[in-house]
Structures are given as C-alpha cells and as structure tokens.
Amino acid sequence: MGDRYFLEITCPKCGLRDADAYFAPTCGFVDWKCRCGYLLDLVKYTGITPEMASNKPEIQAEINRVLKEAS
C-alpha cells in the first residue's frame, strides 16, 4: 500500500493532454497509455519509485507498536 497520484501528462508523441492520469506505483499502475498508442513509463517520467511511494515501513511500525502494547 502506498501513495497514489493524479498527474497531468502531455503525450510526447501526439501532444494530447490528460489532466487526470492515474499513477499508483505500489499497486502496479505504472504506465500511462495515450489514445495514440504511446506508452509512457510513469516511474521514469516522475522519478517516483514504488519504494518511495510505499508507506509499508510506517504501517509495520504501527503494527509492531500495537503488538507490543497488547503483550
């Protein structure tokens, strides 16, 4: 689980503008496909990796805290 983004993308091939492109790197939504067929790698486009968008360390720390309190 992690962050999700809505991006504004202009296709480098045809110039189409998408003001509502979805990007969720930790869920596998890492590509954007234009109507013209151009496929854009959003990890490369944004520089945001799945690891950077992940909130797994925070979730694990909270689980550990709760388990420690429960014992």
State the residue range of the domain holding 9. Answer: 5-70
Per-residue pLDDT at 69 exceeds 80: yes
Q: What is the pTM of this model?
A: 0.70
pLDDT value at residue 2: 73
Q: How do residues 37-65 score in pLDDT, each as one tens digit?
A: 999 999 999 998 888 887 777 788 888 89
pLDDT value at residue 38: 98
Question: Structurally, how many domains does the chain consist of?
Answer: 1
DSSP assignment string, 1-51: -B--EEEEEE-TTT--EEEEEEEBGGGTB-EEE-TTS-EEEHHHHH---HH
Per-residue pLDDT at 31 exceeds 80: yes
Q: How do residues 4-28 score in pLDDT, each as one tens digit?
A: 899 999 999 999 999 999 999 988 8
